[in-house]
């Protein structure tokens, strides 16, 4: 059965440790991505994504769409109600959020605007 016809329940799942092991094996193999993936019954795009994630982690970078904790305080020049946070999203999109914005609504909007994580 090809990978395209497998249902979600039939797809293999890999732990972070297993993904790291596959990436290391591939990088030491000297094979092309296509050869290695075919020989080990892996999906090429998964292996490519795992390599990108490993490189980003090694460089201390977060993947696109990652959230970071931010401490927000009102500016002494503006009243708290007028204070705004500018959120810069991938693709050059920006969003300004004023104080008092519903956090649940904001989280839903950010999830909808963030690229899908796979």
Q: What are phi and psi of 99, to 5 degrees?
A: -60, 145
pLDDT (0 to 100) of residue 107:
79
H, E, C per residue of the chain: CCHHHCCHHHCCCCCHHHHHHHHHHHHHHCCCHHHHHHHCCCCHHHHHHHHHHHHHHHCCCCCCCCCCCCCCCCCCCCCHHHCEEEEECHHHCEEEEECCCCHHHHHHHHHHHCCCCC
* pTM assigned to the model: 0.45
pLDDT (0 to 100) of residue 117:
42
* pLDDT block averages, 10 residues each, the chain of length 118: 55 87 92 93 92 80 60 60 68 76 78 59
Q: What residue ranges do the domains of the chain occupy? A: 9-58, 65-118
pLDDT (0 to 100) of residue 56:
79
In this structure, are residues 54 and 25 in contact, taking their beta carbons and an 8 Å threshold?
no
């Amino acid at each position: 059965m090809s990978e395209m016809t497998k249902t979600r329940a039939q797809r293999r799942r890999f732990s972070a440790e297993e993904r790291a092991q596959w990436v290391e094996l591939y990088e030491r193999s000297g094979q092309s991505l296509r050869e290695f993936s075919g020989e080990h019954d892996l999906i090429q795009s998964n292996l490519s994504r795992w390599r990108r994630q490993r490189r980003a982690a090694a460089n201390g970078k977060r993947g696109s769409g990652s959230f970071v904790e931010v401490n927000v305080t009102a500016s002494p020049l503006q009243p708290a109600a007028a204070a705004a946070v500018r959120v810069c999203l991938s693709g050059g999109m920006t969003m300004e959020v004023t104080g008092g914005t519903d956090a649940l609504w904001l989280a839903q909007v950010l999830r909808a605007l963030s690229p899908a994580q796979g």
